[in-house]
C-alpha cells in the first residue's frame, strides 16, 4: 500500500521538529560557494533516500544560510526537487528515476543549467565491523544503508556528532557536454561519477570495513606465506604442526590491533582537553594535499619520532579533520597493563624490536601488515624506530619500509603513498628523561606508573606544537623516477635491488620530513644562545641574530616547506622566558640573556630540531672563520669535501653544492650584512664589529658536527688501512669527543653520542671513501686523505692544533695498551 504524499511530508515535518533541536554538526567541511550565475539553481544530491540524511541537509542549509533544500526547481519540462538522491534501493543500488529525469530535463534544455552539490552525511563516522553484535548493527554508520530501525537508533545515539561533507558545485550542463559523446546517454555516466565520488568520500572518512580481531587473526594463519612458515617451524623444532599453528595464532593476537569506535570517540574528547591543558595551540600545515589523496590512495604516515605524544597527536588531528585514524605500529614495550589495551583499541598494533631468529613471527607480522594495506586501512609507523633523544632525525630503520615495499610488490592495487610528517614541540614532555638517558647511555623500561607520572607536568606551560605534512611520496611514481628499469632489476637481482631501494627510500623520506620543519622560537633562541662561549648573550644582539636567521631562511630556505615563526624577535624571546627556557638579567649596560649549564644541555635538543635547515648557511659562515676573503670557486673547493657526509648525516635531500647555489647564499649573507662584496670575492666584516660577531655565532652552530668528523678522520689516519674496525674507531672517537667537552667545560652529552659517529661512518661508506674487508677492518685511499687535508683549512690554527694533539695522544695510548 502506497503512503499518500501529504502523509509522508507530514511525518517528515514532525520528525524534523522533534529531532532538529538534538542535532549538532561536530565539524562541517568548508561550505561550497555556488557559482555567480544566479540563473543556475542548486540541487543537493545524497547517496540514498534516508530520511535522516534529508533532514540533516535541510538543517545544514537553514543554519548556514545556503540555498534551501526543500524547494522545487522549475525547468521547461516540469518541476524537480532541489534535494535528490542517487540510489532508490540501497540493497540493489538501483539509480533513482527522479535524478535521471532531472539530468535528462537539463540535457533537453541547453540554455538552462543546474549546479549539483553532492553531500555525504555521517552519523558518528563508525565503520562497519564484521560479525558485529546487535548493538553495533543498530548504531554503526556503515557502508550499506540500514533499515528504518537502525537509522532511527543511529540518529538517537549520534545526533550530536553529525558530520556533513558537501562537495564542490558541479555544472550539470558541463557534465552532460563531457559525457554525451557519439550520441550516448550521459545519465548512467554522470550517476557513476557521483557514485565514485560518494564512495571515495566515505572511504576517506571511515575507511574500509573493520574485521573482527579474532576473525582476522584466524585468516592470517591460513594465508600461504604463513602456512609455509608454520610447516617450516614445525619441521625445524620437530613438533606437531598444530602446535606451531597455535604459536602462530598467539603471535597474531600479540600483534593485531582491536580498533574500537567508542574508545576512539572517548579518546578524541579526552585528548582534545589534554591538548588545551598542555599547549597554547596545535598548528597544522599543508594538510590539503593529504586530504586530496585520502580515499584514492593507500596512505602510510611516516612522522618523525620525538615524543610519546606523537602518535596520539597525529591520530587526533587526522580524526578531527575528517580522516580515518590510522593503524599505528607501536613497540611491544608499550603493550603493558592498562596502557596496552587502550592503545590497541585506539588502533595500535604491536611489534617486537627484532624479528631475528623467528621466521614464524616475521611471517605473521608481514602478513598482518599486508592485509591492512590490502584492505585500504591507513597505517602509521616511525621509520626512526625509537624516539630521538638528541632532537635530530635518526637514521631510518629498514624493517617496516622493507615490509611495506614487499606488500606493494605482491599486489598492485590503489597507489601507495607515504606521507612524511614533521612534529615540532616548543617544550617536550620527556626532556629530563632524554638528558638522563644521554648521560648514562641507559634507556629506562616503560611502565604504566612512569607514563602516568607525566601528569605531574600538566600545570607547566609547553607552548605550541607544529604538525607539518611534507611532500607525499607515491611509491610507484618514485621508483619510476629513480630508475625506469627497476622492474627488470628487481627480477634479476631482487636482494641487491631491495637493499638499495630501502636505503634510498629511507633517506628520501627522512629528507622530506626535515624539509617540512617548523622553526619555533625555542629552537631559534637555542641555536643562537648555544653558539656563544659562555651561554650568555646581550639581549639586543640576540634580537638581531634571530632576525638574521629568519631573513636568511627567506632568502635561501633550508627546506621546501619550511615554516617561519610569526611575530617579532622580542616576542619570541619573551615566550622562551615564559617557558623557562632562558633567563634575562638586567644590567646597567643592557639586559643579558643566559641559560644555566643544565638548561643548555636541554636546549641542544631543540637546536637539533632545526640544525639541518642552517647546515649550508652555517658551513659558509664557518669557512670565513679562518679565511678573510674567498670567491665562489675557492669557497666551493674548501667546503665541498665536507658536504656529502653533512648532507647524509642531516638528511638534506639530494641537493648538490653547486656554484649557483653558493652564490645565492653569499648574496644572502651580503644582504644581511654578514659579508661584504669585493668585486668577484666576498670578505668577512672587520674584527670587533657586530656583523663579525653575528657571522661567528652562525658558524659555531655547525662546529660540533665538523669537529666530530675531524676527530674521527684524524684518528683513522693515524693507523694504516686495515688496522681498525668500525666499532673500535667509533668508540675511540666517542671517547675523544667526551674528553673535549670536559676540557671545554661543556655539559653536552649529545656531542659524544656514539650513534652520531656510527652514522658518520655509514655516510663515509655510502660515499665510497671507506670500506670494510671480510674481517671487518676499515680501508681507505688517497681520496679520504685529500678530503681531510682540505677540511683542516676550515679550522683556525688553535682549534686545529688542539684536535690534532688530542687524537695523537689517544693513538699513542691505544698503541701502548696493545703492546702491553
DSSP per residue, 374-390: HHT--EE--TTSS--SS
Distance CA 97, CA 462 (A): 58
Establish if 184 belongs to a structural domain.
Answer: yes
Q: Residue 431's Cα: distance from chain center in Å?
A: 21
C-alpha–C-alpha distance, residues 340 and 257, integer Å: 10
72 pLDDT exceeds 50? yes
Q: Which residues contact 591 (CB under 8 A, 6 or more apart)?
A: 538, 539, 540, 584, 585
- Let me know whether 319 and 441 are in one domain: yes
Contact 817, 809 (CB under 8 A): no
DSSP state of 611: G
Q: Which helix (H) or strand (E) holds 84?
A: strand 83-85
Residue 91, pLDDT score: 47
- Residue that is written with C-alpha cell 676550515 in the block: 794
At 813, the pLDDT band (50, 70, 90 cuts) reads low
Same domain, 498 and 559: no
CB atoms closer than 10 angstroms to residue 64:
12
In the predicted structure, residue 89 carries a pLDDT above the cut 60: no
- Given a cut of 70, is residue 728 above it in pLDDT? yes
Confidence at residue 210, expressed as pLDDT on a 0 to 100 scale: 66
Residues 687 and 717 in one domain: no
> Do 795 and 803 touch, CB atoms closer than 8 A?
yes
pLDDT single digits (tens) 452-492: 666 666 677 889 999 999 999 999 999 999 988 898 998 88
- Domain co-membership, 671 together with 682: yes
Give the Cα separation of 509 and 303 in Å (integer): 9
CA atoms within 13 A on the CB side of 213: 17
- Residue 131's pLDDT band (boundaries 50, 70, 90)? very low
Q: Residue 369 falls within a domain, yes or no? A: yes
Euclidean distance between CA atoms 679 and 392, whole angstroms: 39
Q: CA-based Rg of the chain, rounded to a whole angstrom?
A: 31
Q: Are residues 91 and 36 in the same domain?
A: yes
Higher-confidence residue: 732 or 811?
Answer: 732
- Residue 541: all three cell numbers together: 644582539
Which domain-ending residue is among 515, 547, 579? 515
Element (H, E) at 60: helix 51-63
Residues 771 and 689 in one domain: no
- Written as nine digits, the cell of 160 is 550530536
Does residue 531 lie within any of the structural domains? yes
Is position 232 within any domain? no
Whether residue 219 is contained in a domain is answered as: no
Q: Which three cell numbers stand for residue 745?
A: 667545560
Last residue of a domain, one of 449, 484, 515: 515
Per DSSP, 208 falls in state S
3-class state of residue 811 by DSSP: helix
Where residue 314 falls among pLDDT bands split at 50, 70, 90? Answer: very high
**CA separation for the pair 468, 515 (Å, rounded):** 10
Q: CA 361, 365, 367: angle at the middle one, nearest 5?
A: 120
SS3 assignment, position 473 = strand
Residues 70 and 98 in one domain: yes
Q: Are residues 693 and 709 in the same domain?
A: no
Residue 79 phi, psi (nearest 5): -95, 145
> Residue 137's pLDDT is what?
44
Q: Are 45 and 121 in contact (CB under 8 A)?
A: no
Q: Could you read off the pLDDT of 598-639 as tens digits, one per residue?
A: 788 889 899 999 999 999 999 999 999 888 899 999 999 889
Percentage with pLDDT > 90 across the chain: 34
What would the pLDDT profile of 267-303 be if each residue is shown by its tens digit? Answer: 888 898 888 888 988 999 999 999 889 878 899 999 9
DSSP state at residue 455:
G
* Cβ 539 vs Cβ 591: under 8 Å: yes
Beta strands in 210-292 (DSSP E): 281-285
* 807-817: b (≥16 Cβ within 10 Å) or e: beebbeebeee
Nearest alpha-carbon partner for 526 in 461, 457, 579: 579
* Residue 676 and residue 656 share a domain: yes
Highest mean pLDDT among 31-40, 262-271, 785-794 belongs to: 262-271
* E-strand stretches of 672-803: 676-678, 681-683, 771-772, 778-779
| CB-facing half-sphere around the CA of 692: CA atoms within 13 A | 11
Whether residues 601 and 709 fall in one domain: no
Q: What is the mean pLDDT of residues 50-78?
A: 83
Give the angle 329-468-310 at the CA atoms, nearest 5°.
35
In this structure, are 28 and 166 located in the same domain?
yes
What mean pLDDT do residues 704-733 have? 85
Q: Is residue 3, in this structure, part of any structural domain at all? A: no
Does residue 448 register a pLDDT over 60? no
The maximal CA–CA distance of the chain, rounded, in angstroms, is 105
Listed in order, strand segments (DSSP E) in 168-324 are 170-171, 281-285, 298-303
Output the CA torsion 405→406→411→416 (10° steps): -20
Tell whether the model's pLDDT for residue 640 goes beyond 90. no
Give a yes or no: residue 262 inside a domain: no
DSSP per-residue letters across 618-653: HHHHHHTTS-SEEEHHHHHHHHGGGHHHHHHHHT-T
Specify the number of domains making up the chain. Answer: 4
Contact 462, 454 (CB under 8 A): no
pTM, to two decimals: 0.86
**Residue 396's closest CA among 507, 311, 303, 517?**
507
- Domain end, chosen from 515, 545, 580, is at 515
User: % helix / strand / coil in the chain, to the nearest 5?
Assistant: 55, 15, 30
Spatial distance between the Cα atoms of 160 and 158, rounded to a whole number of angstroms: 6
The residue to which cell 627546506 is assigned: 559
Contact status, residue 11 vs residue 54, Cβ threshold 8 Å: no
Q: How many Cβ atoms from other residues are within 10 Å of residue 10's Cβ?
A: 11
Which pLDDT score, from 0 to 100, does residue 81 have? 85
Alpha carbon distance 661, 294 (integer Å): 36
Helix (H, G, I), strand (E, B) or coil at 9: helix
Residues 467 and 606 in one domain: no
Residue written as grid cell 619555533 = 520
pLDDT at 145: 42
Q: Is residue 267 part of a domain?
A: no
3-state secondary structure of 88: strand
Structural domain of 321: 282-515
Question: Could you tell me the CATH number of the domain that includes residue 332?
Answer: 3.40.1130
Amino acid at each position: 500500500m502506497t503512503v499518500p504524499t501529504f502523509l509522508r511530508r507530514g511525518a517528515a515535518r514532525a520528525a524534523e521538529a522533534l529531532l532538529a533541536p538534538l542535532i549538532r554538526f561536530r565539524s562541517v567541511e568548508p561550505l561550497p560557494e555556488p557559482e555567480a550565475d544566479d540563473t543556475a539553481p542548486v540541487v543537493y544530491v545524497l547517496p540514498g533516500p534516508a530520511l535522516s540524511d534529508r533532514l540533516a541537509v535541510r538543517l545544514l542549509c537553514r543554519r548556514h544560510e545556503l540555498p534551501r533544500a526543500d524547494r522545487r526547481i522549475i525547468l521547461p519540462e516540469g518541476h524537480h526537487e532541489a534535494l535528490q538522491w542517487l540510489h532508490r534501493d540501497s540493497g540493489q543500488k538501483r539509480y533513482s528515476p527522479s535524478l535521471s529525469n532531472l539530468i535528462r530535463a537539463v540535457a533537453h534544455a541547453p540554455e538552462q543549467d543546474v549546479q549539483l552539490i553532492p553531500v555525504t552525511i555521517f552519523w558518528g563516522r563508525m565503520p562497519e565491523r564484521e560479525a558485529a553484535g546487535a548493538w553495533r548493527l543498530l548504531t554503526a554508520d556503515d557502508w550499506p544503508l540500514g533499515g528504518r530501525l537502525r537509522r532511527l537508533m543511529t540518529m538517537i545515539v549520534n545526533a550530536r556528532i553529525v558530520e556533513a561533507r558537501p562537495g564542490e558545485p558541479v555544472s550539470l550542463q558541463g557534465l552532460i557536454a563531457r559525457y554525451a559523446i557519439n550520441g550516448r546517454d550521459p545519465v548512467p555516466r554522470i550517476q557513476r561519477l557521483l557514485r565514485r565520488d560518494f564512495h571515495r568520500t566515505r572511504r576517506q572518512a571511515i575507511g574500509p570495513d573493520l574485521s573482527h580481531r579474532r576473525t582476522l587473526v584466524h585468516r592470517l594463519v591460513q594465508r600461504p606465506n604463513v602456512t609455509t612458515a608454520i610447516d617450516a617451524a614445525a619441521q625445524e623444532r620437530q613438533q606437531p604442526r598444530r602446535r606451531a599453528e597455535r604459536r602462530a595464532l598467539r603471535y597474531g593476537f600479540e600483534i593485531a590491533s582491536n580498533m574500537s569506535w567508542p574508545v576512539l570517540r572517548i579518546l578524541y574528547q579526552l585528548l582534545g582537553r589534554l591538548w588545551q591543558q598542555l599547549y597554547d595551540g596545535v598548528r597544522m600545515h599543508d594538510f590539503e594535499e593529504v586530504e586530496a589523496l585520502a580515499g584514492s590512495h593507500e596512505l602510510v604516515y611516516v612522522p618523525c619520532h620525538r615524543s610519546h605524544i606523537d602518535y596520539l597527536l597525529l591520530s587526533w588531528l587526522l580524526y578531527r579533520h575528517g580522516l580515518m585514524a590510522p593503524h599505528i605500529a607501536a613497540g611491544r614495550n608499550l603493550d603493558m597493563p592498562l596502557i596496552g589495551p587502550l592503545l590497541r583499541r585506539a588502533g595500535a598494533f604491536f611489534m617486537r624490536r627484532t624479528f631475528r631468529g623467528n621466521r614464524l613471527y616475521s611471517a605473521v607480522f608481514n602478513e598482518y601488515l599486508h592485509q591492512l594495506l590490502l584492505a585500504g586501512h591507513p597505517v602509521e609507523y616511525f621509520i626512526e624506530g625509537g624516539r630521538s633523544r638528541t632532537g635530530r632525525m635518526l637514521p631510518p630503520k629498514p624493517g617496516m619500509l622493507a615490509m611495506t615495499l614487499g606488500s606493494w610488490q605482491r599486489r598492485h592495487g590503489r597507489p601507495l603513498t607515504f606521507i612524511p610528517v614533521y612534529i615540532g614541540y616548543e617544550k617536550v614532555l620527556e626532556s629530563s628523561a632524554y638528558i638522563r638517558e644521554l648521560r648514562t647511555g641507559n634507556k629506562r623500561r616503560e611502565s604504566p606508573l612512569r607514563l602516568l607520572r607525566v601528569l605531574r607536568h600538566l600545570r607547566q606551560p609547553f607552548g605550541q606544537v607544529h604538525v607539518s605534512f611534507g611532500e607525499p611520496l607515491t611509491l610507484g611514481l618514485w621508483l619510476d623516477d629513480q630508475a625506469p628499469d627497476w622492474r627488470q632489476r628487481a627480477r634479476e637481482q631482487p636482494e641487491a635491488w631491495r637493499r638499495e631501494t630501502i636505503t634510498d627510500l629511507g633517506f628520501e623520506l627522512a629528507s622530506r620530513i626535515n624539509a617540512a620543519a617548523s622553526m619555533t622560537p625555542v629552537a631559534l633562541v637555542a641555536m643562537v644562545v648555544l653558539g656563544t662561549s659562555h651561554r650568555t648573550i646581550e639581549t639586543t644582539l640576540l634580537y638581531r641574530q634571530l632576525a638574521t636567521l629568519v631573513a636568511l631562511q627567506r632568502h635561501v630556505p633550508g627546506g621546501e616547506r619550511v615554516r617561519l615563526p610569526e611575530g617579532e624577535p622580542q616576542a619570541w624571546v619573551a615566550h622562551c622566558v615564559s617557558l623557562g627556557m632562558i633567563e634575562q638579567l638586567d644590567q646597567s649596560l643592557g639586559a643579558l640573556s643566559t641559560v644555566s649549564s643544565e638548561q643548555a644541555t636541554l636546549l641542544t635538543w631543540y637546536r637539533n630540531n632545526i640544525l639541518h635547515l642552517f647546515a649550508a648557511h652555517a658551513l659558509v659562515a664557518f669557512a670565513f672563520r679562518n679565511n678573510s676573503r674567498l670567491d665562489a670557486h675557492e669557497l666551493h673547493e674548501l667546503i665541498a669535501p665536507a658536504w656529502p657526509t653533512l648532507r647524509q648525516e642531516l638528511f638534506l635531500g639530494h641537493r648538490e653544492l653547486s656554484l649557483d647555489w653558493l652564490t645565492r647564499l653569499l648574496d644572502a649573507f651580503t644582504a644581511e650584512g654578514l659579508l661584504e662584496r669585493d668585486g668577484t670575492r666576498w670578505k668577512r666584516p672587520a674584527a670587533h664589529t657586530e656583523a663579525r660577531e653575528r657571522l661567528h655565532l652562525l658558524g659555531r652552530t655547525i662546529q660540533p658536527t665538523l669537529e666530530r668528523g675531524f676527530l674521527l678522520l684524524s684518528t683513522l689516519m693515524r693507523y694504516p688501512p686495515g688496522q681498525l674496525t668500525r666499532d673500535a674507531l667509533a668508540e675511540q672517537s666517542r671517547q675523544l669527543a667526551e674528553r673535549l667537552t670536559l676540557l671545554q667545560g661543556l655539559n653536552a652529552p649529545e656531542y659524544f653520542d656514539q650513534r652520531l659517529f656510527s652514522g658518520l661512518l655509514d655516510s663515509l661508506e655510502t660515499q665510497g671513501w671507506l670500506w670494510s674487508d671480510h674481517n671487518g677492518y676499515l680501508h681507505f685511499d688517497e681520496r679520504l686523505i685529500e678530503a681531510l687535508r682540505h677540511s683542516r683549512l676550515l679550522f683556525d690554527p688553535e682549534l686545529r692544533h688542539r684536535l690534532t694533539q688530542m687524537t695523537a695522544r689517544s693513538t699513542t695510548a691505544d698503541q701502548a695498551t696493545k703492546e702491553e
